[in-house]
Amino acid sequence: MTSERSSWTFLSNHGHVLVLVAREPGILLTSLSERVGISERAARTILRDLEEAGYLTRTKVGRRNRYEVHPDGPLRHPEESTTMVSDLLAAFGR
């Protein structure tokens, strides 16, 4: 292993977004994108992907969005499809 820090992580950006939204359902898009390290446009696309796949629901509260994660769905990759979203979130202290 080199002394330089690698740029890869174990979770995809979709995973990072899901974990953050589960922790902070009222998180602002700007904060979400900054913390994940992606553009606001990318964060918006990921949120739409997760919503369309049934992993979360977005509700408008005034001028802000509030997100509800649905933890009972399976992870998407065939090798992980027996693991539930709730198991992933539990690993990150939700």
Taking residues 23-44, report their average pLDDT. 97
Which tens digits make up the pLDDT trace of 43-69?
A: 999 999 999 999 999 999 999 999 999
* pLDDT above 60 for 92: yes
* Residue 47 CB neighbours (<10 A): 21
Q: To the nearest 5 percent, what fractions of the chain are helix, strand and coil?
A: 45, 15, 40
* pLDDT above 90 for 94: no
Classify residue 24 as left (phi > 0), alpha (psi -120 to 50) or beta.
beta
Counting the structural domains of the chain, the total is: 1
43 part of a folded domain = yes
In this structure, are residues 85 and 70 in contact, taking their beta carbons and an 8 Å threshold? yes
CATH assignment of the domain containing 21: 1.10.10.10
In whole angstroms, what is the distance from residue 89 CA to residue 20 CA?
10
In this structure, are residues 21 and 32 in contact, taking their beta carbons and an 8 Å threshold? yes
> pLDDT band at 5, cuts 50/70/90?
low
* pLDDT above 60 for 1: no
Could you list the residue range(s) of the whole structural domain that residue 80 is in? 13-91
75 part of a folded domain = yes
In whole angstroms, what is the distance from residue 1 CA to residue 31 CA?
32
Which pLDDT score, from 0 to 100, does residue 4 have?
A: 62
